[in-house]
Amino acid sequence: MSETEESKKSIAPAVAVTDIAEYRPHEEQIVRLETTYGKLVVDCSTSEGLANAKEVRVDIRDVRYALANTTKTALVPYQQAVKDAQARVNQVKEFGETLKDRVLAIETPVDEAIKAEEKRVADAKAEKERLEQERIEAIRAKINRFSSVAAAYASRSAADVASVLQSVKDSVILPEEYGEFEAEATISRDNAIEQLEALHKAAIDREEAAAKLLAQQKELDELREKQRIADAEAEELRRQRAEEDRQRLKRQQDELDQQRRDMEAQQHQQRERDAQYQRDQEELVRLRAQAAAPAPAAAVVAAPVIADPAPTLVAAVDPAPAADAFADSNIPSASEVVEVVAMAFCVTNDEASAWLRAMSF
């Protein structure tokens, strides 16, 4: 036999303390379980320890299952009693509601009549208060118009201020219209008249100053217009003078350009003359070189013998025009030209002179 079984037999159950008879045996069993297993340390690491733990659990569960069955059995009479009591409670409530409805049937007409009268009195009072509030607000609005009229017309013209001032003066404070606010309305009206009179005087002064300023501004505008016209005329004169200066400069520039073009044309003509002169010199050199070259033998034999060709050349060609036409000393003389032509073409000086005369040489 295990130590657990021995401890079950050796430990006596404690005395039960519950007043419910059905639970007393179970309480004794619970006391036994607490005494037996309260400080038990379960060791399930071995097969024997695991078997002992299972036996302990079965013992504890038996007590719990028995307790649950007892609870179900013990509650049956009480649950029935609760159902009976609840049914009685419902009957009492229903009967009470029935009696209440009978009482309300008598009370309701009286209560409704009282409430209707109270509502009528309250509505009448509220309507009276509303009318009184509207009357006071209307009077306050009239008084506020007196108080605010000066501020509203602070920047208006003198005519507008005079118009509203006369309107305020014509207004009459009637006791039946203002009631208890008659004195306040009278004071507000008098203050408004004083303020409007001051505003009227200030508006007149302001308009006079504005008229004077307008006249000064008009005069200033006229002076500015005159100055503008003078400036425009001066600007036009300056523009005309500038245009004249521009035209004059343009003419001068055109003249300079024309002079430059004329000079360039003259330079071009001079360059052409120089080039022509250079070509003539080169041609003359060529002819001289050609004339200086030895002539063929047959030509020398066939050429007539001229004892003195110079007189014939001088007689044939007049050297005076050549001297007049060519003032440069580097230009060859007419006799030299005739001689060069005769030598170049293997002719006599007379024939060369005749050729030159035919070409207006």
Tokens at 328, concatenated: 């440069």
Indicate the pTM of the whole model: 0.33
Tokens at 8, concatenated: 């079950």
DSSP assignment of 272-291 equals: HHHHHHHHHHHHHHHHHHHH
DSSP 45: S
Parts of the chain with a pLDDT under 70? 1-18, 294-331, 360-361
Structure confidence by residue, pLDDT tens digits, 164-187? 889 888 888 888 888 888 888 899
pLDDT at residue 15 in the model = 46
Q: Is 151 helix (H, G, I), strand (E, B) or coil?
A: helix
What is the domain partition of the chain in residue ranges? 3-110, 118-209, 305-361
pLDDT at residue 212 in the model = 92
pLDDT at residue 291 in the model = 77
pLDDT at residue 335 in the model = 80
Residue 307 CA, distance from chain mean position: 116
Tokens at 59, concatenated: 């013992």
What is the C-alpha separation between 256 and 134, in angstroms, rounded? 103
Q: Which residue in 25, 111, 107 sits closest to 74, CA to CA?
A: 25
Structure confidence by residue, pLDDT tens digits, 96-115? 888 888 888 888 888 898 99
